[in-house]
Structure 1
């Protein structure tokens, strides 16, 4: 099977025996105890499998089996399509300049220097509006056999290293364009990697640019190709021309069990599915997705979305994403569909503003004044937004710090990260804010109920010809 499985056409038009979906009742049916019971199962799976549920591990496969069985038992049409992914591992990353250790991060899928590293001249590329993005940036510079130092910006990392490689460079070091170390950088795919490529902070890049002589770069990396599975489950009722898609990533990082990140999102949408049932009396089909290999770069959701035909993508009315709902120092954040916060990436596709209002209004009625959070591309909504599918969700915060204003509004500790257990062995059930999880899980169910019943109204999303026009225009 491929990641493109869509379950199209599996909903019927026959009248179900269940009562019509009521969003408020659905929200009330998703209880804290039931959600925590799913987390207990995921914690046990991690405990039994080397402490994690990472893609490509027995812990992940056991997580897939658990989720798929719960959905099957509750009347859903369930599939677990496979997709290919690349597992990138770094055994060592080190940069020495004049006997000084410089923090360097290997970009994902960087070719390896080998464990011995390589020593060569450091040659800074020109600093201009398109640093290292054009071959002419190296005119007059002798970069043959050298390690090139180039600023981040404008073109992809893969293009910077390819151009430097074509000019004869032996490696590339990319200088971050903001404070702090380079994190999350990637060449995109193992096949495009030509020479070892790492990243350093802006401050370290400035210092390196002032030096001269040789540097020694060690990026001891390896990439292995493997397969993983998504879990896709759809109601047997409701229009398949207007699918409400709901997703959460199922994998953890290798360092820990991933109970907040993202057992909480999984548990919330899984219990929503249980309470909704496989054959609800709903106008629109609901498709639940549990994504694999998100922690390796949104790979499961990317494989799924890119594998759809244009018609299959147009059948998805909206996408709701849930990633971290019970952070220990919890926030109450909704994806900023209308860009009212004016931070970062701008608004989501048309309809995203209405999705945001649905969450804000529901939380507000329950005494919670939510803040916006940017569509920063760090979770599985990314591939959907790229295809202009309206998206939204709630989020309790990760490694950003809670402000004093937010602490006053929601409680918790100001000037401390939302989740100090993020991506660590201590991301366990013991470190979940259960009250925050309960409130967010009820918001999950409410939004699913709203859109399962209707896509219309002031918080609705485009349908029919309006949908095609909106997606073609953006």
Structure 2
């Protein structure tokens, strides 16, 4: 854990000040030798101007394309072309890697209405996510306007004492006696939502309602991701709504969803430097897509703009190791771009990637400075990263310690694009300033801001615009990104084991509970 910040320094810090610090002090000896004076000058040359210009460009692209840069939309395509154009001009070999994916969009606000015995209209969660209502359309839900009788399916009420007690809808046998055309009422529990929905659809359900299970921490409205398209409406509700609907029997409901769910093609943008040892690849990445609800300037224009500025500064500099930068598509639909890249790369090519650095949401307005926990010293529920990840964490710790700037660890919990890399044993690390989670009093004392409020109140919402960026967090993190890129570009001793076979030791991460920024699947 780093030192508490000196208030005078933190209030006035700029990217230029951060990058002008003596880099030799922020580089752990085991990770790299002390950079030369020319390397220090190179780091300090990356100012705030290019990062902010790229953010403004992403905002302008969203403005011109319906307010979004989501994968599968014209806004994403324009963002990818913008990044690729800047990289080619900077001297990189650029690949636009295509892949197909299941596109999802909620076109208008859903409806859930009890018609009898007690008429009631439930509050929806609109497509822009501006508020969370009593129910929400699940990602990859089908479209339809259904009126039918509600039928309970193997519910556990009152809920069991621990999470994942309910097996509701997880087996085809649960639907024995289900009346075709009815609406299935299911409870969150031991299997993925898509299993419940598919079993219900196979049994003839006209729509599906899945309510939260009911234990502490499992009562709020489910905003779930099925992962695979289904053809009937599927919505998630709070435990309170589900419990209310479960009794009496024979309740008649109307469920209406208006969605697009189809196969589309999108791209990763991969840029390789023309310099350095191609057998020692230092890779940095950030997801380029937003959610459909908004322009995604913090999530994740911030990480995308920062690595683009760093890549531009390094593109024509001869380095010892090969630099590779990636802008991932369809991260918001459960890491699809990075997963496609890692799983389709030949083993020989994969073994050349010596480390992966991930930057996702680095400018949250109510930020905490979070470093991925490579050595499991701060983890609260996930294991350490693959061997060498601890060295990456130490590099970032050293950077912030020199600034006398506090920092905290954060789990490799599977919610961003490091996931596919650590799954195949590649040393990984990176930076994060928080998403929908709530800032603690201890973090407020360390970083300023407001305790009890989300790190990013505009997370996955239309208000994630250019106004949703902390310039201070962006400056601090861009300095760290530049430092790591240069240190590892010239390092003779990269993190991790020396042998490729040891470096590829499997690492298991990501509890099934959350994927891609908390879009629940189970």
TM-score range normalised by the length of the shorter chain: 0.7 to 0.9
* Alignment partners' CA distance in 2, 1:92 and 1:442: 42
2:187 is aligned to 151
Contact 1:462 1:470 survives alignment (8 Å): no
Relative distance call for 1:152 and 1:280 in structure 2 (3 A) is: farther
1:54 is aligned to 70
1:6 is aligned to none
* Alignment partners' CA distance in 2, 1:464 and 1:392: 20
Match status 1:179 vs 2:215: no
1:75 is aligned to 91
- Report the 3-state secondary structure (helix = DSSP H, G, I; strand = E; otherwise coil) of the residue aligned with 2:355: strand
Match status 1:376 vs 2:413: yes
- 1:426 aligned to which of 429, 450, 463: 463
Listed one character per residue, the Cα deviations across residues 388-428 of structure 1 (whole Å, up to 9, x for unaligned) are: 33322111222222222111111122222222233334333
* Alignment partners' CA distance in 1, 2:244 and 2:275: 62
Relative distance call for 1:155 and 1:361 in structure 2 (3 A) is: same
* Alignment partners' CA distance in 2, 1:469 and 1:292: 25
- 2:479 aligned to which of 423, 434, 442: 442
1:96 is aligned to 113
Report the Cα offset of residue 83 of structure 1. 1.9
Relative distance call for 1:346 and 1:203 in structure 2 (3 A) is: farther
Contact 2:375 2:385 survives alignment (8 Å): yes
* Alignment partners' CA distance in 1, 2:48 and 2:504: 41
Match status 1:319 vs 2:319: no
Relative distance call for 1:310 and 1:120 in structure 2 (3 A) is: farther
2:516 is aligned to none
* Alignment partners' CA distance in 2, 1:342 and 1:101: 42
Correspondence 1:114-263 to 2 at 5 A: 114=144, 116-127=145-156, 128=165, 130-138=167-175, 141-177=177-213, 178-183=218-223, 185-190=224-229, 193=230, 195-216=232-253, 217-263=255-301
* Alignment partners' CA distance in 2, 1:32 and 1:403: 29
- Report the 3-state secondary structure (helix = DSSP H, G, I; strand = E; otherwise coil) of the residue aligned with 2:201: helix
* Alignment partners' CA distance in 2, 1:397 and 1:77: 33
Listed one character per residue, the Cα deviations across residues 34-69 of structure 1 (whole Å, up to 9, x for unaligned) are: 322222333333334444333333333332222112
- 2:431 aligned to which of 394, 417, 423: 394
Correspondence 1:35-46 to 2 at 5 A: 35-46=51-62
Report the Cα offset of residue 76 of structure 1. 0.9
2:518 is aligned to none
Runs of 5+ consecutive residues of structure 2 not aligned to the other structure: 1-34, 123-133, 157-164, 510-522
Runs of 5+ consecutive residues of structure 1 not aligned to the other structure: 1-18
Listed one character per residue, the Cα deviations across residues 123-171 of structure 1 (whole Å, up to 9, x for unaligned) are: 13143564432234445x5454433322223322222222333444443
* Alignment partners' CA distance in 1, 2:207 and 2:461: 31
Contact 1:152 1:174 survives alignment (8 Å): yes
Relative distance call for 1:348 and 1:100 in structure 2 (3 A) is: farther
Report the Cα offset of residue 106 of structure 1. 2.3
1:333 is aligned to 370
- Report the 3-state secondary structure (helix = DSSP H, G, I; strand = E; otherwise coil) of the residue aligned with 1:462: coil
Match status 1:302 vs 2:311: no
Relative distance call for 1:467 and 1:334 in structure 2 (3 A) is: same
Alignment root-mean-square deviation, CA: 2.8
Report the Cα offset of residue 443 of structure 1. 0.6
Relative distance call for 1:146 and 1:340 in structure 2 (3 A) is: farther
Relative distance call for 1:357 and 1:208 in structure 2 (3 A) is: farther
Shifted more, 294-303 versus 173-182: the winner is 294-303
Shifted more, 83-92 versus 230-239: the winner is 83-92
Relative distance call for 1:350 and 1:120 in structure 2 (3 A) is: farther
- Report the 3-state secondary structure (helix = DSSP H, G, I; strand = E; otherwise coil) of the residue aligned with 1:471: coil
Report the Cα offset of residue 232 of structure 1. 0.7
Report the Cα offset of residue 326 of structure 1. 1.5
Report the TM-score when normalising by structure 2.
Answer: 0.78
